[in-house]
Amino acid sequence: MSDTPSLHTDESRYSTAKLLRRLLALAWQFRVDCLLSLALSIILLLLGLVGLQLLGTAIDVIRHALDPTAVPPAYPFGWKPPANWSPLHVVTALSLAIVAQAVLRSVLTYSYNMTTVRLTQGKIVPELRGKLYSKIQRLSFRFFEVHGSSSIFNRLTGDVQNTRLFVDGVILQGLNMLITLAAYFLYMWKIQASLTLACLSVTIPLALVTHYYSNRLRPGYQKNRDLYDGLVEVFSQSVLGIQTVKGFAAESDRIKKFETGNRAVASQQQKIFWDLSVFTPITHFLSQLSLVILFAYGGWLYVQGRIPLGGGLVVFAGLLQQFTGQVANLSTIANSVQQSLTASKRVFEVLDTPIEVENNSNPVKPSRLKGNLVFDGVTFGYVPQTPVLKNLSFTAQSGQVIGIFGMTGAGKTSLLGLIPRFYDPQQGRILIDGMDLRDLDLDEYRRQIGIVYQESFLFSNTVAANIAFGSPYATQDQIEQAARAASAHDFIMALPKGYNTVLGESGADLSGGQRQRLALARALLLQPPILILDDPTASVDAKTEHEIVSALRHAMEGRTAFVVANRLSLLRRADRILVLEEGRLVQEGTHDQLAHIHGPYQDAAVLQLMDLAREERSAA
Ligand code: M5T
Ligand code: MG
């Protein structure tokens, strides 16, 4: 199971206090909606109290009617029934008021729920998700090297949801709980002070238990998210790599791996639920205990003649029940606190990741570039301590084709990656038309570079849309022209719907050579002054190679082109060839020059010529 390294090693940045502060700031951003939701819950609370009070009064009216020596009913809110009303009239009126109160409460509960959902799902979640997505899109490559796509997906989905839980599940519910408890407490205190204290004494152990479990739960949630990342990783890798999996008959292996992960997540989840399933009943038991105290101590008080047995006591019992119910809610809130802290840390980690390659404060927007490129003492490594390019210096004149040759792992792709500034060099600088790349506006600069990678990613979209990926306003004519230039037009026309054929996921229904030519068309459509080709003919047969090479010859005209290739067919046409060995520039010259100098290029040339001769002989 791949474990996900933390984005920030600096854990102090995510102390509980700091996380809480940021979550509160998030809630503050939506304060109007929060207040609205809170106001509704307070009205609901007051209505509930009114209902209880009316019930108590109704009971006293009945008792008094049956037994005139009992305490006379105290009417609430300064209301007095007209003198000519019989007790039946009064009770009917009170009952109607209770029903009206219940109806109003239902309506308000509905609006409360709607308000809260609009706040959480309609505002907070989309806002967070949008922020996260645009951050992820802007992050530099290194981020994606370190983090599996699954961890990123999970953060974007589940963790965003659990982060918003802090607003509705913690702040709103918590405030609601506090206000409710305070109101009930005062109300109960007014009815009978000592009984209130006795009944509420159970809240102390309740708070302690809650504190204990709350701390116990958090690491569990963190572990759970990490394990879940791993599980989704196994799954998504198997889907993306299904060809390899099947090709190596590795299905049962993968299934076993998934099962292991699956079980790990399950047992971890069970552990959390086990904790919860002990915790929740304890809180419920303690709340029930307060009712027992009410009966025992309340009964004793009655026997002592210190409280009457009337509506007041019914109201008291009702309040107590709701009070302890609210306190028992503590367990849910505590659980939500831990869940949202865990999740928000994972969300904030992404939001806090510095974008390594970024515009400086005052970037230059280049007009159309000429394409004079200079590498000046460039040293670069994916990990700073192990450079893969060492003190590299060369110049490419506008319009030149620069071939790059070297053994696998020599650093060719890495060199190409520095040109669009996917990474910044650790030492030295790269200049385009005399300007340091770091001073240019990244987007404007990159738009002037066409790239064809070793393996091209195609989107599940039409052929035309794939070609127009970098130039969304291109006309059909321009798209076809680019396709022709990449010798892709003919095979595209042979597809079932021509340019409107939708490609399967990852373009699975095209051959390697076809994919490369689509990618080339995509690059050419930009009309870029700089063209980067990373071994575009690596995966094609000789005939297609020939086609691509002649297409390229045309395509590279008038552009500064950097072509990585191992086949001489492409390199021969380069104005200059750079030979790399373990990240160093060891030879430089034209094909004709290099073919006559002893060195790696000559070795490769001889080998390829020998191969060619052998093939010709065996064909003859
Ligand atoms: C040069 C390492 C790689 C190798 C060295 C692209 C990439 C490479 N490397 C990383 O650590 N992370 C990366 O994202 O850098 O690799 P290269 O530049 O890819 O070599 P190449 O293009 O000449 O090789 P090839 O096989 O494409 O001909 O040590 O591990
Ligand atoms: Mg490469």
Q: What is the pLDDT of residues 182-198, one digit of tens each?
A: 998 898 888 888 888 88
Model pLDDT, residue 457: 84
- CA-nearest residue, atom 7 of ligand 1: 414
Residues 172, 324 contacting (CB under 8 angstroms)? no
- Residue from 213, 154, 166 nearest 340 by CA: 166
Beta strands in 512-575, from DSSP E residues, in sequence order: 530-534, 560-564
Which helix or strand (DSSP H or E) is residue 427 part of?
strand 427-432
Residues 321 and 381 in one domain: no
Say whether both 328 and 441 belong to one domain. no
Would the pLDDT of 7 be above 70?
Answer: no
- 248: in domain: yes
Ligand nearest to the CA of 565: 1
Q: Give the CATH number, domain containing residue 222.
A: 1.20.1560.10
- Greater pLDDT, 36 or 70: 36
Q: Which of 319, 352, 385 delimits the end of a domain?
A: 352
Closest listed residue to residue 401, CA positions, set 581, 554, 224: 554
State the pLDDT at residue 67.
Answer: 84
Residues 347 and 400 in one domain: no
User: Is residue 424 in some structural domain?
Assistant: yes
Question: For the residues 218-223, what does the mean pLDDT come to?
Answer: 84
Q: Are residues 434 and 288 in the same domain?
A: no
- Number of the ligand 1 atom closest to the C-alpha atom of 389: 1
Mark which of 299, 321, 352 sits at the end of a domain. 352
Structural domain includes residue 539: no
Q: What is the pLDDT of residue 538?
A: 75
Q: How confident is the model at residue 1 (pLDDT cuts 50, 70, 90)?
A: very low
Rounded to the nearest angstrom, the distance between the alpha carbon of 317 and the centre of ligand 2 is: 76
Task: Assess whether 152 and 282 both reside in one domain.
Answer: yes
Query: Looking at the structure, do residues 30 and 79 belong to the same domain, yes or no?
Result: yes
Residue nearest to atom 19 of ligand 1 (CA): 413
If one counts the domains in the chain, the total is 2
Centroid of ligand 1 to alpha carbon of 411 (angstroms): 5
Instruction: Residue 192: count other Cβ atoms within 10 Å of its Cβ.
Output: 20
Domain carrying residue 382: 370-447+561-620
Ligand 1 centre from 565 Cα, in Å? 14
**Residue range 110-162, pLDDT digits in tens:** 999 999 999 999 999 999 999 999 999 888 887 887 777 888 888 898 899 99
Which ligand 1 atom is at minimum distance from the Cα of 454?
A: 27
Residue 200 sits in the same domain as residue 226: yes
pLDDT digits (tens, 9 = 90+) for 598-613: 888 888 888 877 776 7
Identify which of 541, 575, 239, 528 has the alpha carbon closest to the alpha carbon of residue 517: 541
The answer to whether 397 touches 372, Cβ cutoff 8 Å, is yes
383 Cα nearest atom in ligand 1: 11
pLDDT at position 560: 93
Count of CB atoms situated within 10 Å of the CB of 134: 10
CA distances from 94 to 77, 91, 536, 620 (A): 13, 5, 85, 110
Predicted model pTM: 0.74
Domain finish residue from 292, 320, 352: 352
Atom 18 (ligand 1): residue with closest C-alpha? 411
Q: Which two tokens stand for residue 150?
A: 């699954």
Are residues 318 and 382 located together in one domain of the fold?
no
**CB-based contact 385:446 (threshold 8 Å):** no
pLDDT for 326 equals 80
pLDDT reported for residue 620: 67
pLDDT of 132: 93
247 and 191 part of one domain: yes
What residues does the ion ligand 2 have nearby, CB within 5 Å?
413
Which of 140, 379, 382, 582 gets mutated to test ligand 1 (max ligand atoms within 8 A of its CB)?
Answer: 382
Q: Are 383 and 357 in contact (CB under 8 A)?
A: no
Same-domain status, 336 and 388: no
Q: How many angstroms is it from 409 CA to the middle of ligand 1?
A: 5
Output the CA 423–ligand 1 centroid distance in Å: 13
Output the average pLDDT for the chain. Answer: 87
So what's the pLDDT on residue 606? Answer: 82
Is 96 part of any domain?
Answer: yes
Pocket of ligand 1 (CB under 6 A): 382, 388, 406, 408-414, 454
Cα 473-476-479 angle, rounded to 5 deg: 80
Q: Strands, DSSP E only, in 91-248?
A: none
Beta bridge partners of 533: 452, 563
Could you identify the atom of ligand 1 that is nearest to the CA of residue 417?
6
The predicted-structure confidence for 387-411, as pLDDT tens digits, reads as follows 999 999 999 999 899 999 998 899 9
Burial class (CB in 10 A: 0-12, 13-18, 19+), 258: middle
**pLDDT tens string 491-546:** 899 888 889 988 875 455 788 788 888 998 999 998 899 999 998 877 677 777 77
One-character DSSP codes across 133-161: HHHHHHS-HHHHHHS-HHHHHHIIIIIHH
- The CA angle 115-121-126, to the nearest 5 degrees, is 130
431 located within any domain? yes
Is 9's pLDDT higher than 60? no
Does some domain include residue 556?
no
Closest C-alpha to ligand 1, atom 15 = 388
CATH number of the domain within which 607 lies? 3.40.50.300
CB 411 within 8 A of CB 580: yes
| pLDDT tens profile 267-323 | 999 988 888 888 888 888 887 888 888 888 888 988 888 877 777 778 888 888 888
Query: Nearest Cα to 527, choosing from 492, 573, 558, 548?
Result: 558
Burial of 490 (0-12, 13-18, 19+ CB in 10 A): exposed
Give the pLDDT confidence score for residue 237 in this predicted structure: 82
Judge whether 536 lies within some domain: no
Contact 63/311 with Cβ under 8 angstroms? yes
Do 377 and 346 fall within a single domain? no
Structure tokens at 540: 């094609």
On whether both 321 and 410 belong to a single domain, the answer is no
Domain membership flag for residue 482? no
